[in-house]
Amino acid sequence: MVAIRSALWKSLRSYQVYGANTNVGKTIISTALCKSLQRKFPDQRIWYLKPVSTGPLEEADDCHVRKFVRGIQADCLFQFDEPVSPHIAARQSSGNVPSDLELVQSIYSKMSQYAAESTPGWALVETAGGVHSPGPSGIPQADLYRPLRLSTILVGDSNLGGISSSISAFESLHVRGYDVDLVVLFVNEKYKNHEYLVEYFSPKNVTVLPIPAPPEWQPNETSDRQCMADYYDSLSESASMDQALDFLTASHDRRIHDLNSMASRANRVIWYPFSQHQSISPSTITTIDSAYGDYFQTLDPAAKEDPHRPLLNTTFDGSASWWTQGLGHGNPELSLAASYAAGRYGHVMFAGTVHEPALTLAESLLDNLRNSRLTRVFYSDNGSTGIEVAVKMALRAAAVRNGWDASVKEVEVMGLRGSYHGDTIGSMDCSEPSVYNEKVGWYRGRGYWFDYPTVKMVNGTWTVEVPEALQYELGPGSQYASVSEVFNLSRRQLESSAQRYRAYIQKIIHKLVTDDKRRFGALIMEPVVLGAGGMIVIDPLFQKLLVDVVRESRDIFEAGGMGNSQQVVASEWTGLPVIFDEVFTGLYRLGRFSSASFIGVEPDISVHAKLLTGGVVPLCATLASKSIFEAFVSPDKSDALLHGHSYTAHAIGCTVARTSISSMIDMERNGSWDDFKASWQDSHGPEIWSVWSKEFIAQLSTDPCVAGAVGLGSVLAITLKDSAGSGYTSTVSQDLQARLAQTSGRDWNIHSRVLGNVIYLMSSLTCAKEDVRAIEKFVASCLQR
């Protein structure tokens, strides 16, 4: 597993020592700290750890520390003889070169040993060179060690130019989410960097400790050693050192105290989304210290009782943080992109102005969606607002086409049963009445929602299941040799079921519009998968034919408008404007840039969010066709789409989105997912793949507790058998959820979300294959209990 725990124990105050530069005195300052700690805390143990050392053994930093701090345990994990940067030394070395993972795991394991000792203590972990000096693999240390997220002591630079290098080093750590508690540097009376830095860091709550520079080197070894010993002794007696150690002590204690208090404080002041507070108590709230890659660092409440137990567990973020994560938590590229935009623009109001990130993101979306209809991009802040925009667009286009004036308010949408499009009233109204909305004052579903066949693997076979009530009209469903066959729509359109689907849809439309005189203004669907509706895969053939039939039914829908007789250009909407809600399904969540491509349909309006910003900040883009756009163009201002949020097209969101999208496109181009794809290869239809293995899905689907399973892109959905009936109030999946979350005897667990009797997992797009496989194993073992 790539999962690494952040290093935090109550019994072990641990700090990582980074340098603002090379040769700023990291080892001397580390030694001074160790010596002073030893003097101040005679009952505690002091450990010094050098993960990677280069140069002759006898000159190594750990030797220096041992020399001057009697009785200290000073360890070095990897030693290279060449006195060069670790990445060059590693390249030249014939010996054991650790991978990043091994290196970080070795540090954690060493620290675990320290923490397990009965005596509490302190550990200093000294890095090599500056914060971005490369580790053995070549990756900059600040990135290499980030998973451990140790509290940090930065050794400042007292030389000429050292103000700059100290601040820049601090910033490089800061943008990676490190907490720098203390800056220590030598006093240099000529440059007085320490005076400047004390003032500079004070408002940032970073303590700066200036200490006297070490004595000059003495040619006589004995007297040199004595000089240094005296230096360390006198430092360890100084009041300012004493204060700094008090500060570190307090800082470590406060961090732990805060972590331990957060759940009860949250329970007092937070009103949680989608949560019944009667079932919430401090013990049900997960405290998250930080996150990296696919993992949260979660507080282990049991550590409160045992100071030697690690406080933080590694928890797989099994909902991809509500389906938003694509490039991993704490991704430095996205962090830098966000800060660049903040530094260049902040936010720039977007009515009548243009800035580069908003423009180039719009162009990139239009280019990459490859939908010949879409020509315009409207920004808003999240999926729900983006759907409101889409519905406003569609309803107006329909109203203009059909000559409905402002008095006509009873316009509805067509959709799919079980859909979810967001929580603002306009989005809620696009879904049928359900437990999500029945008690919401102003909700009233305005639409008709089709029932439909679904797809999952059942007992080892890909199956299209038709709801019982529809079987008379749609047939009994069917089975396929592979998921690619299910998505092979050009072939399936020739099957008899296609005729039945088509006839059924036509019949319903006719009844609703012609017989019941209901007025519709949009067809709105999540392509391929209903997300919040239960991770249900809709039969793509049904979705395709639904769009086809609606578009062919101009004579029905546009009775007051153009009718079938009038010629339209190919990109013109007909029948109803078709809205695809790709908020969840798009941007590679299901393995492809556009989820519409699975069903071969070009919607007139397309909504994108969640993965859009790689899981960093909210942003939504609603794309529309020319024929939708033109319904709003007139000499009259009041005909415009008078919608907008203050932060519309905020530069940070657009910049992060641009970075995120191009990273994902590059990953696809560079074959980053080829390993996953290989196992899914199938010549009987289009490329359908998942990070979850075919074998695992098959295994799940034959489990006696499982009604069916699906893996698509990074999504895994397991439908559990539930004798009490499925639905939002089902609890059967909660048992499995609890087993996935248990931590005893494991060093990682899984945070998952359930939807009724469906439990799902979702990885980022950067999750390592071995992690996915390990998770599969764990899931299987939890099922079998």
Site residues for its own copies, 136-155, by CB under 8 A, read: 138, 140, 146, 149
Residue 589, phi-psi category: left (phi > 0), alpha (psi -120 to 50), beta (remainder): alpha
Q: Any idea which residue has 């994990």 for tokens? A: 77
Give me the helix-helix angle, 732-741 and 769-784, nearest 10°: 130
Pick from 1, 63, 425, 562: which binds its own copies (CB under 8 A)?
A: 425
Rule CB under 8 A: say whether 750 interacts with its own copies: no
Q: Which of 70-78, 335-343, 499-507, 551-559 is the region at the interface with its own copies (rule: CB under 8 A)?
A: 335-343
327 and 337 in contact (C-beta within 8 Å)? no
Q: Which of 300-308, 376-384, 552-560, 675-683 is the region at the interface with its own copies (rule: CB under 8 A)?
A: 376-384
Nearer to its own copies, 464 or 617 (CB): 617
Q: Write down the least CB distance from residue 633 to its own copies, Å.
A: 5
Nearer to its own copies, 46 or 651 (CB): 651
How big is the site for its own copies, counted in residues (CB under 8 A)? 173
For residues 504 and 502, give the distance between their C-alpha atoms in angstroms, rounded to a whole number.
5
Q: 249 exposed, middle or buried (CB, 10 Å; 0-12, 13-18, 19+)? A: middle
Residue 323, phi-psi category: left (phi > 0), alpha (psi -120 to 50), beta (remainder): left
**Interface positions, 562-591, toward its own copies (CB under 8 A):** none
Q: 546-552: long-range contacts at Cβ-Cβ below 8 A with a sequence spacing of 24 or more?
A: 546/450, 546/452, 546/505, 547/523, 547/578, 547/599, 547/601, 547/603, 548/502, 549/502, 549/505, 549/506, 549/509, 550/414, 550/505, 550/509, 550/523, 550/575, 550/576, 550/578, 551/575, 551/576, 551/578
For residues 315 and 456, give the distance between their C-alpha atoms in angstroms, rounded to a whole number.
28
Q: Which of 43-51, 124-132, 453-461, 466-474 is the region at the interface with its own copies (rule: CB under 8 A)?
A: 124-132
Pick from 168, 249, 402, 743: which binds its own copies (CB under 8 A)?
A: 168
Rule CB under 8 A: say whether 279 interacts with its own copies: yes
**Interface positions, 80-99, toward its own copies (CB under 8 A):** 84-85, 87-88
Give 462's strand partners.
457, 480
Give me the helix-helix angle, 221-236 and 26-40, nearest 10°: 60
Rule CB under 8 A: say whether 469 interacts with its own copies: no
For residues 785 and 781, give the distance between their C-alpha atoms in angstroms, rounded to a whole number.
7
Q: Which of 44-52, 66-74, 389-397, 557-565 is the region at the interface with its own copies (rule: CB under 8 A)?
A: 389-397
Nearer to its own copies, 58 or 189 (CB): 189
Nearer to its own copies, 84 or 665 (CB): 84
**Interface positions, 519-558, toward its own copies (CB under 8 A):** 521
Q: Which helix (H) or strand (E) holds 126?
A: strand 121-126
**Interface positions, 717-736, toward its own copies (CB under 8 A):** 728-729
Rule CB under 8 A: say whether 421 interacts with its own copies: no
Rule CB under 8 A: say whether 100 interacts with its own copies: no
DSSP state of 243: H
Pick from 353, 670, 683, 744: which binds its own copies (CB under 8 A)?
A: 353
Pick from 57, 116, 435, 780: which binds its own copies (CB under 8 A)?
A: 435
Pick from 322, 500, 503, 508: which binds its own copies (CB under 8 A)?
A: 322
Pick from 27, 152, 431, 437: which binds its own copies (CB under 8 A)?
A: 437
Pick from 56, 96, 116, 171: which binds its own copies (CB under 8 A)?
A: 171
Q: Which of 118-126, 229-237, 289-297, 302-310 is the region at the interface with its own copies (rule: CB under 8 A)?
A: 289-297
For residues 716 and 700, give the distance between their C-alpha atoms in angstroms, rounded to a whole number.
11
Rule CB under 8 A: say whether 316 interacts with its own copies: no
Q: Write down the least CB distance from residue 35 to its own copies, Å.
A: 25
Query: Six-digit token pair at 294?
Result: 């696919």
122 and 252 in contact (C-beta within 8 Å)? no
Query: How many Cα atoms are found within 13 Å in the side-chain-facing hemisphere of 544?
Result: 21
Residues 6+ apart with CB under 8 A from 746: none
Q: Any idea which residue has 């040769």 for tokens? A: 23
Give me the helix-helix angle, 496-509 and 540-552, nearest 10°: 50
Q: Write down the least CB distance from residue 335 to its own copies, Å.
A: 4
Q: Any idea which residue has 């451990």 for tokens? A: 148
Pick from 25, 603, 615, 711: which binds its own copies (CB under 8 A)?
A: 615
**Interface positions, 658-697, toward its own copies (CB under 8 A):** none
Pick from 30, 105, 172, 478: which binds its own copies (CB under 8 A)?
A: 172
**Interface positions, 40-79, toward its own copies (CB under 8 A):** none
Q: Which of 37-45, 325-333, 536-544, 771-779 is the region at the interface with its own copies (rule: CB under 8 A)?
A: 325-333
DSSP reduced 3-state for 388: helix
Pick from 624, 754, 755, 779: which binds its own copies (CB under 8 A)?
A: 624
Give me the helix-helix angle, 651-669 and 356-369, nearest 10°: 40
Q: Write down the least CB distance from residue 778 to its own copies, Å.
A: 20
Q: How far is CA 716 from CA 18, 295, 383, 521, 530, in A?
A: 41, 17, 22, 34, 13
Written as one letter, the residue type at 346 is G
Backbone angles phi, psi at 403, to 5 degrees: 70, 25
Pick from 273, 671, 704, 725: which binds its own copies (CB under 8 A)?
A: 273
**Interface positions, 20-39, toward its own copies (CB under 8 A):** 21-23
Backbone angles phi, psi at 133, to 5 degrees: -65, 135
From residue 178 to residue 217, the character string flagging contacts with its own copies as x (rule: CB under 8 A) and all else as - is x-----------xxx---x---------------------
